[in-house]
Amino acid sequence: MQRREASYKQPRIFTISNEISPASRNRRGRAAIRAACYSRVRMNASGTDFEFMKAALEEARVAGEGQEVPIGAVVVVEGAIVARAGNRTITDCDPTGHAEIVALREAARKIGNHRLTGATLYVTIEPCAMCAGAMIQARIARLVYGADDPRAGAVRSCFSVLDHESLNHRVEVTAGVLADESLESLRAFFAARR
Ligand SMILES: [Zn+2]
């Protein structure tokens, strides 16, 4: 537990705008694209990004009170929150009960469409491979997350699921929004268990 807590780190806010290009078809092209992604670091998080991330942090806090790992997510469509959730893996005895999955399910139900085209998902920690896959399935437009997860992160830390060259859908990514607060809730959660 201690190692996991210590391994979370705070990224700078950055955005990957990963357009599909012919260069993505070969190895050298992909390396160049990856380098370009990381050089395109921009402080482009808006004020509303911080507001919605605060809502995700509140979900994380509630999850932590329920003895879940404190990670929270909200789905925003046309400037309004349509779904919010914290981790529920223990509560529901469900290995897929990550905050992102629970929030995406709720959003799809509310909207009445399994495609969440135009939606933005806010989550306090870099999503895992399962959740990144679900975002592709839901066709969300944008992901905003707080802190990197070097042990399981599937946006850039361990895997780069969202910009895999074989996928037709692209998700814009903004990372590092309220990363300190995201890390602090995890630190407090794991510290209380030592
Ligand atoms: Zn996940």
Residue 121 confidence (pLDDT):
98
The residues that are catalytic are 100
Alpha helices, DSSP H only, in 81-178?
A: 99-111, 129-138
Residue 15 confidence (pLDDT):
63
Q: What tokens does 156 get?
A: 């850039």
Q: Where are the beta strands (DSSP E) in 53-176?
A: 72-77, 80-86, 120-125, 142-147, 172-175
Burial, 58: exposed, middle or buried (Cβ in 10 Å; 0-12, 13-18, 19+)?
A: middle
Q: β-pairing, 80-86 with 72-77?
A: antiparallel
Cα of 17 from ligand 1 centre, angstroms: 22
Q: What residues sit around ligand 1, an ion, with C-beta below 5 angstroms? A: 98, 128, 130-131
Residue 128 confidence (pLDDT):
98
Query: Would you give the distance in Å from CA 50 to the centre of its chain?
Result: 14
Per-residue pLDDT of the chain (194 residues; tens, 9 = 90+): 444 444 555 555 666 554 444 445 555 555 554 444 443 333 467 889 999 999 999 999 999 999 999 999 999 999 999 999 999 999 999 999 999 999 999 999 999 999 999 999 999 999 999 999 999 999 999 999 999 999 999 999 999 999 888 888 999 999 999 999 999 989 989 888 88
Residue 42 confidence (pLDDT):
37
Cα of 134 from ligand 1 centre, angstroms: 9
Residue 13 confidence (pLDDT):
62
Give every CB contact of residue 80 below 8 A, 6+ residues apart in sequence.
none
Q: What tokens does 77 get?
A: 């469509």
Cα of 59 from ligand 1 centre, angstroms: 15
Give every CB contact of residue 150 below 8 A, 6+ residues apart in sequence.
7, 8, 9, 157, 158
Cα of 153 from ligand 1 centre, angstroms: 9
